Homo-oligomer: A and B are copies of this chain.
Amino acid sequence: MVHPLGRTSMGRQRIEIRRIDNKERRQVTFTKRRGGLFKKASELALLTGASVAVVVFSPAKHVYAFGHPSVDAVLRSYASVPGEAAAVAPVPVHGGSGGEDVDLLGLRLAADDTGAQVAAEHARMRDVAARIVQAKAGRRFWWEADVDALGEAELLEFVTALKKLRDNVGRHANTLLAPQPPPLPLQQKQRRRR
């Protein structure tokens, strides 16, 4: 309804882009802006045909994600990008010594899209052994290999590599997310229109 006199609202106010102190208002802003972000992501994909993936952890550590054509498809592609793959895998150690207590080793399926030029790619990865060696020496994509083609020996090498990886991960308590398996809200948003 209409208000006979005077402004009925102060309208949108300008705010500083820095942490909102008030907890509830921070939550409200989170919800509103998360929606807006997903909408923008969706529009970008639709308008330009771009692939987009957005992953958000709320202040309460709940997960929200949007992706076109899908979050996983985009992240898989991302993982297969040279520079990025390297960035994700080797995780530099800043602590030091080694792994005394048991830590998880998280592995994640990444690339291998059966695209048109996969055939061409095949050539350069024909020799798995060479690949592993090359990989151990260098940095990226060493973990790519045709497991079937590996013999017991290479297989061991492979596992060794995995262990090494585990060690490298070691301790970097900088991350934000604390593992919370049981009560997981999780909500995959996959589409939005107007």
A residues in contact (CB < 8 Å) with B: 15, 17-20, 26-27, 29-30, 33-34, 36-37, 40-44, 46-59, 63, 65, 69, 71-85, 87-89, 91, 99, 101-118, 121-122, 125, 143-149, 155, 158-159, 162-163, 165-166, 169, 171-181, 184, 186, 188, 193-194
* Copies of this protein chain in the complex: 2
Residues of B within 8 A of A109 (CB): 88-89, 91, 106-108, 165, 169
Task: Please list the 5 inter-chain residue pairs (A to B) with the smallest Cβ-Cβ separation, ordered nearest first.
Answer: A106-B110, A106-B111, A115-B178, A113-B175, A77-B177
* Chain B min CB distance to A104 (Å): 4
With A30-B44, A47-B33, A63-B84 in contact, do A176 and B143 touch (Cβ < 8 Å)?
A: no
Of the A-B pairs whose beta carbons lie under 8 Å apart in the complex, a sample of 28, sorted by A's number, is A17-B42, A18-B46, A18-B47, A34-B44, A37-B37, A48-B58, A50-B56, A51-B176, A52-B55, A63-B78, A65-B84, A79-B108, A80-B179, A81-B186, A83-B184, A88-B109, A101-B122, A103-B112, A104-B125, A104-B146, A106-B110, A107-B108, A111-B179, A112-B166, A113-B172, A121-B179, A147-B159, A147-B166
